[in-house]
Amino acid sequence: QKEVEQDPGPLSVPEGAIVSLNCTYSNSAFQYFMWYRQYSRKGPELLMYTYSSGNKEDGRFTAQVDKSSKYISLFIRDSQPSDSATYLCAMSWSGAGSYQLTFGKGTKLSVIP
Amino acid sequence: DGGITQSPKYLFRKEGQNVTLSCEQNLNHDAMYWYRQDPGQGLRLIYYSQIVNDFQKGDIAEGYSVSREKKESFPLTVTSAQKNPTAFYLCASSMGGPGLQFFGPGTRLTVL
């Protein structure tokens, strides 16, 4: 079983703060790394994905992967109340001819106005 | 608009009844997936299908069944054999490749 560890929170920050969300994993077979955002009672929405170690930026969001430490992060700059959601990390691995995803349990974030 | 639709949004079932959840996609994706989400447990894979007329069990397939007769459709039946069916069910699809999956809005099933 390939496992992913993610702190469930909840995490509460004031509006405008920088948010850091993290996941660790133990299996080097994971190849692609993703972050999903899930609002209450909605389906997860793909935010960002990356393959290699390093940073990938998209607006206020930065995804960071450190394969040597088996550690990934999502940073949110200038956080807004609309960022309040549960953030799920996910990692893909190839098995039986297809790619599968293993998800973290999600971190619930609240951004307070 | 391209996307994944799930219906109904809310579903109530009496114990002992089978119920079928609908999932349709118009993204022309080959692969489709069903997950179950429970509070504090993340997403768990029930079944997945890479091509029409073929599907595989995921981690928690017991008490569930699926079919894939059309590329666009992947219905999930929750049978009376599923001991604890109350949950949020999510359908996803993927073009394959690195495994990027796109999710539908979900169906909340409650067993009365």
pLDDT recorded at residue B95: 85
Separation of alpha carbons A67 and A50, rounded Å? 11
A-B C-beta contacts closer than 8 Å:
61
Report the residue of chain B nearest A8, measured CA to CA.
B40
Model pLDDT for residues A83-103, shown as the tens digit of each residue: 999 999 999 887 766 788 899
Q: Which pLDDT value is given to residue B2?
A: 67
pLDDT, residue B21, reads 97
pLDDT at residue A52 in the model: 80
Assess contact for B93 and B25: CB atoms under 8 A: yes
B73 Cβ neighbours under 8 A, 6+ residues apart: B22, B23, B24
Q: What is the DSSP letter of A80?
A: -
What does the pLDDT look like over B31-76, one tens digit per residue?
999 999 998 788 999 999 999 999 999 999 999 999 999 999 999 9
Q: Is the pLDDT of residue A8 over 90?
A: no
Contact B11, B67 (CB under 8 A): no
The residue among B64 and A7 whose pLDDT is bigger is B64
Overall average pLDDT of the A41-55 stretch? 91
User: Which B residues, 57 through 86, put their C-beta within 8 Å of a C-beta on chain A?
Assistant: none
Question: What is the nearest CA distance from B11 to chain A, expressed in angstroms?
Answer: 14
pLDDT on residue B49: 94
Tell me which residue in A31, A96, A103 faces B42 most closely, judged by beta carbons: A103
